[in-house]
Structure 1
Amino acid sequence: MIKELVFGNETFLFSYDEYHQEWCLEGADYFGGYETDLRIDKSVFPDGDVDWEEVRKFMLYLRNDPARVMDNIISAGVVLKSLFQEVYLRVEEREVRQEVYFEMNGITFRGYSQTSPGDFIYDYLMMPYYSGDRLMNVGTYMWRASFIRYSIYGVSREF
């Protein structure tokens, strides 16, 4: 299944992933100079029917303040690095723990906040890398930094 979302002269094609039950816009530049995936968690919508107008508003929200989005990517990386260092305190070598960094892999849109009406909830999906050897496996799991509006409210690691 493909869903087309049009903004002026731009067309974004979302494909449906049956396994994860989500819509995905892969490798697109939708907020100004940074290509990444945008995932839409359809479980947050009543009856699983995605409100594409909400998705469009979210994409415009990101596009209207790309500097803030980039600042949040940096902040998410700092917080996730701290969690990584704690999780792998007794497993990874000290140098690896100190020199790990996170790169954006995607964003998951999760609708509107129940506690802060009118504010979007979304996750930055990030992968860890070791600066000494980018190909070194420092964790094949996706890590999440969760936001309400522009405020980070939690971090986690997927299993």
Structure 2
Amino acid sequence: MRIIKFLFISVLVLFGVLTALSLLFPSRLRMSRAINVAARREKIDAAIGDLHQWEHWNRFIAATPLTNRSFSTPSTGVGAFLHSDQLRLTVMGATPDSIALDWILSNGKHFEGGFNILQNGGDSITVQSWFDFHFRWYPWEKLGILVYDRNFGPVMEGSLSDLKQYLEKSP
């Protein structure tokens, strides 16, 4: 009986410590990556704004086997979407310098993302990709922040690198 009581109290204390530790982490995480691209602005806008073109450079789309894929008509601008059994991607906002997206995965995860396009003084344009993640107070969600950058960061960097190659190789 003592062992069971000790285990119960230990689990309760451990949960309390993890909960207190998780309160030190923010409930919102913004990840961003950027790359300079030597391409015309119109070409960059077309590649980022048209969801049909994403399979050529976006690793989130290209690497995931999306079944029953459907695109809106048109596939650009506010309200444009890509729906599949695994993902619902919707353009929530679009300006000449940015695009905001709503991502909903089949497992229920929901987050925002987008791109900012910054005109440099030189011959290149900076494309910034970003994701916003919102977490509840649960310790396992808050402590999960530690692995988000490790999981999403390389895919974001790879997508931007592929975008750069896609834009710079074609005329």
Q: TM-score range by the shorter chain?
A: under 0.3
Question: Which protein has greater RCO, CA pairs closer than 8 Å, 6+ apart?
Answer: 2
* Larger strand share, 1 or 2: 1
TM-score of the pair, normalised by structure 2: 0.24
* Larger helix share, 1 or 2: 2
TM-score of the pair, normalised by structure 1: 0.26
Structure 1 or 2, whichever has the larger Rg, is: 2
